[in-house]
Amino acid sequence: MTARTWYYNLALSGGVAVAYGASMAFSLSLTREGAGIATIWLAGGILAAGFLLLPRRWGLATATACFTVQFAYNLLVGNPLAAAATFPALTIGEAAAAAWLARKVCGETMRLTSMSRVARLLLLVVAPATALTAILAADVFTLYGRSFNTVLSGWFYGHALGMAIMLPASLMVVRPDMVRDFRRTPFEQICLYGLVAAMSFVSVLPIRFPMPLLLFPLMALLAFRLGPRGAAVGAMIMAVVLSSLVVSLPSPPGGATWSLAERTRSFQFLIAINFFTSLATAMVIADQKRMKRLWARRTRIARAAQARAMAAGQAKTEFLATMSHEIRTPMSSIVGFTEVLLKREDLPEPARRQLALIDRAGASLLTVVNDILDFSKVEAGEVELSPAPINPRNVAQDAMAIVAEAARRKGLDLQLGFIGPVEAPVMLDDLRVRQILLNLLSNAIKFTDHGRVRLDLQAIEEPDGVLLRFRVTDTGPGVPSEQAARLFKRFSQGDSSVSRTHGGTGLGLAICRGLTELMGGKIGVESKPGAGATFWFEIPARRAAGPVREAASPEAAAPLAARVLLVDDHPMNRELGATVLSLLGCEVILAENGEEAVAAAQTSGCDLILMDVHMPRMDGLEATRAIRALGGVCAAVPIIAMSADVMPEMEAACLRAGMNAAVGKPIQIQALHDVLTRWLGEPGGVAAA
């Protein structure tokens, strides 16, 4: 036991003993003046609370001290030795019985935070303990010539009322949580308690008005301002005042002739009703305040969790942006120079085959990076659809053409089928639809070793548009039912064992689901093990009013005769960019940083600027703003961001700085040709619709 605990127990036991002695003297003095009837016995509740709050050894010591005090008092007032010892034994036994029952009924903590707990304490603890002691006391009192019934009723009413007030009041006084929401200034507490004492005194005056009724609103005010503890202390003050006056009143209010027992019962009833109504009111108010505090705490926790989630999301975004930049920068050289070398005619066949393997490996790595970034965008709700008039048939044919080479290498038969008006133009984001199709078709080819892969497109006319249903069917191993349910979850794969033969991030189908739901559709799978699988998705589309947007064919396009300013701080990226632009027929002007870019833009007369974003001295955003501020031709020249940071935040920052579009690294000849064709064909740098 620590010194602090020892001093606490000493102070508590001393306080209990002193309070017991004072309340005992008060009650016994009333008993002497009240023809042997104890108007109210407060000491039992105080000692019972001491038994509950103190360790067993300290409780026994306190009980011994209380017995000694009461025994000595009885001897001083002239009681016989046997009676002087019997009555302390009865009252202390009553308190011990109440404490034992309280632990059995209400548990060790004794947290009186609701009226149901208080009711259990009163009905299952106070009532049985005081009733049993009343019976024993009535038997003893008959030895001294007292009436059994009078003693029984007087003892039970006085002791039960006193313990009903003092036991919960004492437990509430030592609980700091009972006053947490009812802290008031000492001045206000003194005024309220003094008002209760004064009104209790006035209520017994022989006035022809039911003054005791005024105690009810006063006790309600006490409950609102001071809570359960205030209600208990107020009832205790009322009990002391009324008990003191009941034995000295010459006659009750109204002039009626009441016996002492009748007056005692009436005031006991008044005290009990006031106590329990005010305590019930205080408990309800305390519960409301506790619920508000809990709600406020949960709100703070939710806000803190939201802040942490936002911080985590921001950290994730920054991490993905950094990793994207760091991975794409070297990949730009790997993929770009591989494409350039594959276009050479003087390569020996073994070298061409090895370069093709490098190209496939780079494409696979790029797919992994793109999957992670795409999933991050879908999960964060940052994907924005760009609907335009498209021909669904053309989208399906384009997707099949892209995967045709992969299917040919595996010896698979590609089939394409159409049902319904698939050539009618509709409003859709063709890039996102094609992304879903390519993911499903690539998976089907990857997991099918022999047989066929078939794509079916069905257009279903509806009153408000067209429902497009795509089905990709393969003759692969199929998907077990227990795995099908988790295929569309993030980082989930049909085969996650160490012996799996196919790689992947497990994000492709999750991205497909996110994009499909974003377009208002749904996606699913139908499969039986060993019988292939059918992945399907359907999306609603509005009918298009305008013409279908046709994509330019790079193979058919003439070489680009344009002066392009290429700005990049990385020497390898500048060499690669210059090589690719030369292959496309462009005259290239090089700049290593933003300052050189601003100077070159003033003097070179370039037709288009490819601007890296992350550069020392002056970054691409600042350089773009400086070029736009030059005015004239520089204010209208198309500026295309070319960066390994392809996060939505960076793309938005590029547009705000004055750039026209953004293209991500690694540089791919086809993608770069498309961008140049689009913007060089639009003088003034007006973005294409």
Tens of pLDDT, residue by residue over 108-148, are 766 777 778 888 888 999 999 999 999 998 888 787 777 88
Residue 379: per-residue pLDDT: 66
From CA 125, how far away is CA 90, in angstroms rounded? Answer: 16
Enclosing H/E stretch for 582: helix 571-583
Between 90-94, 367-371, 544-548, the lowest mean confidence (pLDDT) is in 367-371
| % of the chain residues with pLDDT over 70 | 84
From CA 60, how far away is CA 51, in angstroms rounded? Answer: 8
Q: How confident is the model at residue 500 (pLDDT cuts 50, 70, 90)?
A: very low
Sheet holding 563-567, edge to edge: 587-591, 563-567, 608-611, 639-643, 661-664
Ordered domains of the chain (ranges, CATH): 1-174 (1.10.1760), 387-543 (3.30.565.10), 559-680 (3.40.50.2300)
Q: How confident is the model at residue 358 (pLDDT cuts 50, 70, 90)?
A: confident
Cβ partners under 8 Å of residue 396, min gap 6: 416, 418, 422, 437, 455, 457, 470
Helical axes 508-518 vs 430-447, angle rounded to 10° = 150
Q: How many CA atoms lie within 13 A of 68 on its CB side?
A: 8
SS3 674: helix
Cβ partners under 8 Å of residue 403, min gap 6: 414, 438, 441, 442, 445
CB atoms within 10 A of CB 679: 22
Between 156-165, 505-514, 564-573, 580-589, the lowest mean confidence (pLDDT) is in 505-514
- What end-to-end distance do the CA atoms of the chain give, in Å? 81
From CA 658, how far away is CA 405, in angstroms rounded? Answer: 40
Residue 264: per-residue pLDDT: 66
From CA 59, how far away is CA 62, in angstroms rounded? Answer: 5
Residue 504 above 50 pLDDT? no
Between 35-44, 127-136, 446-455, 557-566, the lowest mean confidence (pLDDT) is in 35-44
CB atoms within 10 A of CB 430: 21
Q: How confident is the model at residue 510 (pLDDT cuts 50, 70, 90)?
A: confident
Helices (H), 34-80: 43-53, 56-76
Strand partners, 468: 459, 539
Mean pLDDT value of segment 563-572? 89
Between 184-188, 426-430, 479-483, 550-554, the lowest mean confidence (pLDDT) is in 550-554
Residue 325: per-residue pLDDT: 67
Residue 253: per-residue pLDDT: 47
From CA 571, how far away is CA 524, in angstroms rounded? Answer: 47
Q: How confident is the model at residue 315 (pLDDT cuts 50, 70, 90)?
A: confident
Q: How confident is the model at residue 359 (pLDDT cuts 50, 70, 90)?
A: confident
- Asked if 620 contacts 377 with a C-beta cutoff of 8 angstroms, the reply is no
Mean pLDDT value of segment 177-183? 70
**Phi then psi for 464, rounded to 5 degrees?**
-105, 15
The two three-digit tokens of residue 640, written as one number: 């295309």
Cβ partners under 8 Å of residue 275, min gap 6: 164, 165, 219, 231, 232, 235, 238, 239
- Asked if 220 contacts 182 with a C-beta cutoff of 8 angstroms, the reply is no
Residue 192 above 50 pLDDT? yes
Of residues 275 and 88, the one with the higher pLDDT is 88
Between 37-46, 256-265, 357-366, 473-482, the lowest mean confidence (pLDDT) is in 256-265
- Annotate 357-418 with DSSP letters as a single string: HHHHHHHHHHHHHHHHHHHHHHHTT------EEE-HHHHHHHHHHHHHHHHHHHTPEEEEEE
Mean pLDDT value of segment 190-215? 83
Q: How confident is the model at residue 396 (pLDDT cuts 50, 70, 90)?
A: very high
- Parallel, antiparallel or unpaired: strands 533-543 and 465-474: antiparallel
pLDDT in tens, 621-650: 999 999 999 988 888 899 999 877 766 678
Q: How confident is the model at residue 502 (pLDDT cuts 50, 70, 90)?
A: very low
Bond into 666 cis (ω within 30):
yes
From CA 653, how far away is CA 646, in angstroms rounded? Answer: 11
Cβ partners under 8 Å of residue 307, min gap 6: none
Residue 100: per-residue pLDDT: 92
**Residue 418 amino acid letter:** F
Q: Which value, in Å, is the radius of gyration of the alpha carbons in the chain?
A: 45
**Residue 85 amino acid letter:** A
From CA 41, how far away is CA 31, in angstroms rounded? Answer: 10
Tell which residue, 168, 146, 145, has the closest CA to residue 155. Answer: 146
pLDDT in tens, 654-666: 999 999 988 877 7
- Asked if 430 contacts 386 with a C-beta cutoff of 8 angstroms, the reply is no
Describe the chain by its helix, strand, coil percentages, rounded to 5.
65, 10, 25
Rounded to whole angstroms, what are the CA distances from 120 to 174, 234, 286, 444, 571? 20, 22, 19, 69, 84
**Residue 524 amino acid letter:** G
- Asked if 200 contacts 215 with a C-beta cutoff of 8 angstroms, the reply is yes
- Asked if 193 contacts 301 with a C-beta cutoff of 8 angstroms, the reply is no
Strand partners, 85: none
From CA 62, how far away is CA 57, in angstroms rounded? Answer: 9
SS3 565: strand
**Residue 31 amino acid letter:** T
Residue 457: per-residue pLDDT: 95
pLDDT in tens, 266-314: 777 788 788 888 888 888 888 888 888 888 889 999 999 888 888 877 7
From CA 112, how far away is CA 125, in angstroms rounded? Answer: 13
Q: Look over the chain and give the mean of its residue pLDDT values, rounded to a whole number.
A: 81
Residue 557: per-residue pLDDT: 45
Mean pLDDT value of segment 64-84? 87
The two three-digit tokens of residue 151, written as one number: 């003693």
From CA 167, how far away is CA 145, in angstroms rounded? Answer: 32
- Asked if 589 contacts 563 with a C-beta cutoff of 8 angstroms, the reply is yes
- Asked if 372 contacts 414 with a C-beta cutoff of 8 angstroms, the reply is no
Cβ partners under 8 Å of residue 86, min gap 6: 140
